[in-house]
Structures are given as C-alpha cells and as structure tokens.
Amino acid sequence: MLFAPRHPQPRYNNHGNNAGSLLKGVAKRERLAPSCMRDDETTDDSTREFGGAWAEFGDGATTAQVFLPSDFSAIRISNLPGDSSVQSVTSLLSDVGLTISQHDVSLTKHAGFTKCTAVVKVKDPSFSKEACRKLGTCITLRDLEVATIPVPLPRGSNFRQVDCRQAQCSWHRPNRTVHLFYGNKDIALKLQQKLRTGKVKVNGTQVMAHPPVPQQNQESRMSWMVKLTGLAKTIEEEDIIEAIPKPDRPRRVEMGEMSYVADREIDSTLIQSMLYEFGPLERWEVSDTPTGKRIKAQATFLEESQAHHAASALDGKPLPFCESSKLFVEVVTSVRFRVSTRVYDVVQQRINTHKSSWSRQYIRFFASPSRGFYRVLKLEGRDRESVAKAKQDLDLILTGDMVEEELGVVIIRDVRSSQFRVFGAEARQALATEALDRLIKETTSAIHFIRLGQENELQWTLDGGFKALKSQLGHDKVVFDRESRSIIIQGSESDFTNAKLIVARRQNKSSGKPLGGETDCPICLCEADEPIRTSCNHTYCGLCFVNMCQAEASGLVEFCISCKGDSGQCGKVFELAEIRNLLLSETFEDILEASFQSFVQRHPDQLRYCPTPDCSQVYRVAPKREKQLATFTCGKCLASICTACHTSHPGVTCAQYQGDSSGGLQALNKVKQELGIQDCPRCETSMEKTEGCNHMTCQGCRCHICWVCLATFDEDPACYQHMRRLHGNIGI
C-alpha cells in the first residue's frame, strides 16, 4: 500500500493551528495513562481462571459454570464488509448450516477502514473445523478469510498471565531543519561543538548540530553553514538566537520547513492500516506526550504470531506520510497483577528494590492509581524470558490477607495448608515470625465445647445468655458457633465449669437487651466490631463476615454465601458485586477460588484434579457411555491421565490395567473388603465406618451416603428417609 507524503502547505501556520484545536479532542480520546498503563481494561468480575479452567461465578459467589479450553473452538473471519454486525455474522454462519448465539461473536471495527473482522468462539470442539470447511467451499464468500485460532481468554482471567500480543509503535514528531551562517570557520566550529556536547541547548533541549560546511554566495564571499536538525515545530528564530552566546551568534538564520505536517487522526489511521495487513487489532491506543521526541502507540493483536510478523516486517519502514522518517515497531511482553492497596503500600519498598534490576533488563514497572481496595500493576519489556523472571519476583512479593501494622509486614494465614507466611522487609519478617511463635506458645489454654442440644438452651443463648457468659467470663474466652449450635470456651477447667453452671441455671445477668438488635452481629451475637452493613440491613463484624464467607467451603451444601441475620432466618443470597465490595480484593479472590474448589469436589462426575501431588490443574471426566475415551495430558506436570479411571496407564485400556496380572489392584481390593472400607460412589474416596448410624458424609465430595446400599443424596434428610423406608432403621 503506497501513500503520497504530505508536504507542508503554503499556509502552514494556519493549518497547524487548526490541527492543534482539532487534536485536542482526538488526544483526549486516545490518551493513555503514563507509559501506556491502563487501570484495567474492563475486566469481567464474574470469570476467573483456576487450574486451567474458566469458572463463571454467580450470586453468593456460587460457581455457576466451569469451562475448559478444550470445550471450545474458535475462528477468525477477516475481510467482512465494514457495515457488518453481530447479527449479520450469525446469519452468515446460519446460511451454511452453523447455528450459533450472538454472544459467541466478537466484532472488531476500526475507524476509517472499509473492512472488519469477527472472532467466533463456540462451545463445541469441532466447530472451527466444520466452519472452515463450510465457509471455504462457499462460492459467494470467496473474499472472506477464515482461519482457526487459539481460543481467546475471557476478560478478567488474564491477571498474572504473560501477554505477547502487543506491538509498540513509535515515529518521530514533525521536526524542523535550521541553517546557521558564519563568516568565520573557527566560530562556526566552536558553536557546533557546544551544541553537540550539550553546553548550548535550545529551549532546554539538546539539538543535533552538523559540522560546518563551506558555502559561497553570488558575490563569491565564503561562509560556513552549521545545520541543525530535529528541532521541534514550536522553535522560532528568536529562541535560537537567545540560546547562543553573543560571541558565537551567526550572521544569518534560515528557518527550514517542517519534515511533514502532522494530522494526528490521519497519521494514526495510516499506521493502523499498515498493522492491519497482519491481522485485526483488539486494541489501538496512542499516547499523548507532547514533550517527547516520538509519538508512541500500542497495538494489541488477537494472536501472538500476528504481533511478531508485524514487528518483523514493519520495523524501520518509511512512514506512509513522510518517506524520510521511519516507523519503529517492536513486540512488547507484558503481565498485569491486581493487588489490594493495603498490601501494595506495605510491599512497595521491596518492589522498588527490584526496579533498578528490571530497568537494566529494559523492563518497565507501572502502578495504576488506587481504585478503592485494589491497584493494577504491570510489568512490560521486550524479552519474554526476562519479563517471566520479573513476574516470578513480583509473584513472591504480592500476596497477603492481613497487615500487621506494628511491624509493617503482611501475614498470610493459609487454612488449607495450616501455614502462616510472612511478607515484608527481611529484617521485619524475622521479628514477625518471632512474634507469631510467642503468640502460639502463649495460647496454650484448652478449648471446651458446650453443645446446645435443647431448644430452650439455644433460645436462652440468643435472648441474652451469650452476653451474660461474656460479661462473667471475659469477652475473649467465649465464642458462639451457630452452625454447630455450640458455645466454645477458651480458658481453664474452672472457666469451663462456670460456663456450664451458667447455661444449666439459665442465668441471664447481662445488662444488655436480647440479641438481634440492629448493631448485633448475627455470627458472634455481640455488638459489631468494625461493622459492615449489608443490603438486607444486617450488621456484621468485619472479621465475622470474612470468616462466614470463608467457612462456606466447608459446609455440607453447595457453596453459596447468604445472610445469617434474624437468627438465621434472613437467608438472602448476597449478589457477587456486594461480596466484592465488602471484602478486600485478595480475600474476594480467595473466596472465589474456594468456591471453585468446592464445586470440583462436589462434582467428581464432571471434573477432577490432576492426581499428581501439589498439581492444581483440572480435567473433564469422560462420560460413562463414551466409547472413545480421552487422555488428559497435564499442562503443568505433564502427567498423562485417563479421564475415565483417573489413573495413568499409557498404551493399555482401562480393562487391561484393572486386570493387571501383577495382582496389585486385586490385593488392594481384598484388603479394603477385609477392613470394611468402601468407596464413595461419586468421587471414589475411600471411607471406613467406625461408629454411629449408617448415614455417612463423604469428605471428598460432601455427598450423603447410605452405608448399607451406597445410595447417594445431596442432603441428609433424604438419606435418613431412605434408610427408614428401605432398610427399616438408620442402623443404631
């Protein structure tokens, strides 16, 4: 594609002023935060990536759906008419016998272009192959280019993932050439050296000065010309004269024309058109830094290969609007993080210690302004491996869910692995570790439970008895656990004995009113500490609300966060947006991950974790009626797992493996039978019944099981009804 250069017009000054007033709006539309850092890019807060799967969350932080990349396929349709719509794309595919939803289509249009591009992602692994075949054989669609592409990531799932789809473009701003004429060669050479070394600057900017060249005028008088290049268009003759010391000033100054006349909108469109030859752009942004020598823009392609091809072909090419100036294009690797503002404030100093090292590797670090609870951080550089290493460094720094203010560190409590991890300055990490160790050793008092088995005991507790216990024993010694209907005493045997007497005598000497007031927390039954108020007008302690959300993962029913107000009768399911607004960013992310893990555990017939220890990847279970069983190759640990029997047996069928001549599997089954161990029918977790009735709860998928016939149920009442109806009793 060829473009004629735009030479300066006779009325340049007027044209420039008009362009400037027009560009104010354009610059505002295309403006980037410093160094191309956006504070995230419309992320979808309902979708996350866990274990190689995409989880979609609904109200209550419930895991609504889980998708794997292998569930989808995608195509790119190029050269569509510029006036195409999502509806026209779905109709196009419908005409060749492919029915899709409008939600499956993403249309990319660029201002000033007559063509557009559509990306179609469908939940059907065979769709892309079928679509390419059918569209490729259609005579009326020969102008279209159809290609299979990698399945695009959902928005919101790309934090902490390396992105190599960005091409950074730059080109020199319009500049002016100026000629200085001297009658003395020595003075000309002296001034040229001062300009070259920066001892003399024009408007505070160093300029390029070429060695003096002899000139002879019509009168045969010899003069020497010093050529200045790359001067900004705002430089006037007076600026140059004032910058040069009086003894070194020239006889005459000749102001040259601008290299080209800038038209921000047209220039941007022409550069886009060059990039568009290599693929459609997901995003195009031009930075507005008037003081810089170059104009910079960032193009995000749909695929990594397109960015590399564009950079390889276009770097160093002449500008379409100025052949004497070049376009510079390079692929930029980036990775973004979202972290809570509190944690960032604590670890910022540690991040700063890495910035000099990153800078030496040409890696730039950006931090967006705080947006409430969180900030978006970004690493960006040319070399992918260097950025990946910097990402590892930042990964080790960024995490945490509680800030210990006195020592200025972040302490992470990982309940699942029973660990505390401390982050912050190394010297303070040691102090925090010692403080934690002392705290654990000091907390040696026994924990006792008082079960509220009778209804009047529970009612007494709610009507003020719990407050009476706290007032007589101490606020730190008494906790009420609504789920287990228990009062927990953390103290001596004497404290435990006194508590039992108070409960037995139904003593209520508390001066407070019964529980349930507007300021009482429905979890701890006390006046809310650091209170938060929900949309259903119930007040919680800040910490109690967090604990309630986190405890949902260990419940006996599907993960769903709902209100426990009005003595547990409220039951309003919190909207996902409300949960996000009430929690710190990292706590919210932890809860979404816990919801996802709970979903995987409760649906072993659909999803399983890779059996390799410490591997978090997820795969889809093969349907029982599937004739052609698939093998899952883990992208993290590279283990090869049969998706039907969930073991590794390469080269042999499930039946051959289970009939292993070594007899290992048969021996295991014999031992299990002798010990009375049975497997959960849903997830195959092994269980042993040691006491109690025939109702069992699987610790793997949390389903309810009849031990007699291994029937499974989602809720325990159904299991008890089954045992009484089918087996005559519950086994006691």
> Cα–Cα distances in Å, from 466 out to 444, 446, 460, 531, 541?
24, 20, 8, 19, 16
pLDDT at res. 297: 92
- Cα separation values, 640 from 274, 502, 647, 652, 662, Å: 44, 60, 8, 13, 22
Q: Do 597 and 451 have their domain in common?
A: yes
**End residue of a domain, out of 219, 243, 258:** 258
Most confident of 79-88, 143-152, 519-528: 79-88
Return the higher-pLDDT residue of 519 and 537.
537
Q: Which residues of 572-594 are buried (b: 16+ CB within 10 A; e: fewer)?
A: bbbebebbbebbbbbbbbbbbbb
Report the pLDDT value the prediction gives residue 30, as an integer from 0 to 100.
32
3-state SS of 260-273? CCCCHHHHHHHHHH
Non-local (6+) Cβ contacts of 349 within 8 A are: 425
640 plus 694 within the same structural domain: no
Instruction: Note the pLDDT tens digit of each residue in 237-286.
Output: 888 898 899 888 998 898 988 888 878 888 888 898 899 888 878 788 88
Burial per residue of 383-401, b for 16 or more beta-carbon CB atoms within 10 angstroms, e otherwise:
eeebbebbbebbeebbbbb
Based on the domain organization, do 552 and 621 belong to the same domain?
Answer: no
Distance CA 619, CA 613 (A): 15
Q: Is residue 595 part of a domain?
A: yes
Give the orientation angle of helix 341-360 with respect to helix 384-397, to 10 degrees: 150
Residue at 145 is within a domain = yes
pLDDT at 28 over 50: no
Return the pLDDT at 561: 94
Whether residues 510 and 564 share a domain: the answer is yes
| 577 and 481 co-located in one domain | yes
pLDDT of 415 reads 45
Rg (CA), the chain: 35
Whether residue 472 is found in the same domain as residue 560: yes
The answer to whether the Cα torsion of 543, 549, 550, 551 is positive or negative is positive
- At 191, which CATH number? 3.30.70.260
Question: Which of 112-121, 416-425, 584-593 is predicted least confidently?
Answer: 416-425
Q: Among the ranges 79-83, 201-205, 572-576, 721-725, which has the highest mean pLDDT value?
A: 572-576
| Separation CA 700–CA 415 (nearest Å) | 17
Residue 183 sits in the same domain as residue 208: yes
* CATH for 63: 3.30.70.330
Establish if 221 belongs to a structural domain.
yes
pLDDT the model gives residue 504: 79
State pLDDT tens for residues 412-422: 655 444 566 67
- Res 416: pLDDT: 43
Helix (H/G/I), strand (E/B), else coil: 360:
helix
User: How much is the average pLDDT of 147-175?
Assistant: 77
Question: Is 371 a residue whose pLDDT tops 70?
Answer: no
Residues 62 and 124 in one domain: yes
Closest CA to 558 of 602, 498, 613: 602
Q: pLDDT averaged over the chain?
A: 79
Say how far apart CA 486 and CA 501 lie, in whole Å.
15
**Does residue 235 contact residue 202 with C-beta atoms inside 8 Å?**
yes
Assign 596 a pLDDT band (cuts: 50, 70, 90).
very high
Do both 584 and 633 map to the same domain?
no
276, containing H or E segment: helix 264-276
Top-confidence residue, 660 or 346: 346
Q: Output 17-25 pairs: Cβ under 8 A, ≥24 positions apart.
A: 19/261, 19/262, 19/263, 19/264, 22/264, 22/265, 23/264, 23/265
Judge whether 242 lies within some domain.
yes
Specify the pLDDT at position 25: 31
Higher pLDDT, 551 or 402: 551
In a domain, 234, yes or no: yes
- Would residue 332 count as lying in a domain? no
Of 549, 488, 166, 554, the residue nearest 336 (C-alpha) = 166
**pLDDT number for residue 563:** 93
> Measured in Å, how far apart are the chain's first and last C-alpha atoms?
86
Which of the given ranges, 95-99, 108-112, 424-428, has the highest pLDDT on average? 95-99
Give the span between the Cα atoms of 595 and 583, in whole angstroms. Answer: 15
Contacts for 555-560: CB closer than 8 Å, 24+ residues apart: 555/483, 555/702, 556/697, 556/702, 556/704, 556/715, 556/716, 557/714, 557/715, 558/62, 558/598, 558/599, 558/602, 559/60, 559/61, 559/62, 559/63, 559/594, 559/595, 559/598, 559/599, 560/60, 560/61, 560/62
Distance of CA 477 to the CA centre of its chain: 41
User: What's the rounded mean pLDDT across residues 449-465?
Assistant: 77
- Is the model more confident about 334 or about 553? 334
As a whole number of angstroms, the distance between CA 285 and CA 32 comes to 7
Q: Residue 151 in contact with residue 323, Cβ under 8 Å?
A: no
Q: What's the number of domains the chain is made of?
A: 5
396-400, 475-479, 614-618, 638-642: lowest mean pLDDT where?
396-400
User: What span, in angstroms and rounded, lies between the C-alpha atoms of 151 and 341?
Assistant: 33
94, 125, 155 — which closes off a domain? 155
Output the pLDDT for position 330. Answer: 93
Mean pLDDT confidence for 620-630? 68
668 confidence band (pLDDT: 50, 70, 90)? confident
- Residue 160 pLDDT level (bands cut at 50, 70, 90): low
235 to each of 191, 197, 240, how far by Cα in Å? 18, 20, 8
Residue 579 lies in a domain: yes
Q: What average pLDDT does the segment 436-449 reach?
A: 66
Encoding tokens for residue 28? 């505002």
685 — pLDDT class (breaks 50, 70, 90):
confident
Q: What is the pLDDT of residue 572?
A: 94
Between these two residues, 509 and 454, which has the higher pLDDT value? Answer: 454
Domain boundary among 558, 584, 601: 601
Per the structure block, which two tokens stand in for 255?
Answer: 């102001």
Does 17 have pLDDT greater than 60? no
CATH of the domain at 509: 3.30.40.10
Q: What is the mean pLDDT of residues 506-511?
A: 51
For 286, phi and psi rounded to 5 degrees?
-110, 130
Share of the chain above pLDDT 70, in %: 79
- CB proximity list for 111: less than 8 A, separation 6 or greater: 269
Beta strands in 150-206 (DSSP E): 163-172, 175-182
- What's the pLDDT score for residue 358? 92
Asked if 127 and 180 sit in the same domain, the reply is: no
Do residues 493 and 522 both lie within one domain?
A: yes
Confidence of residue 365 (pLDDT cuts 50, 70, 90): very high
Checking if the pLDDT of 402 tops 70, the result is no
| Residue-range definition of the domain harbouring residue 482 | 447-601
What single DSSP character describes residue 137? T
Query: Which range has the worst mean pLDDT, 50-54, 171-175, 649-653?
Result: 649-653
What is the CB-side half-sphere exposure of residue 535 using CA atoms within 13 A? 12
Per-residue pLDDT band for 220 (boundaries 50, 70, 90) equals low
- Please give the residue that has the higher pLDDT: either 27 or 155: 155
Lowest mean pLDDT, pick from 8-12, 439-443, 470-474: 8-12
Q: Report yes or no on 361 lying in a domain.
A: no
**Are residue 58 and residue 149 in the same domain, yes or no?**
yes
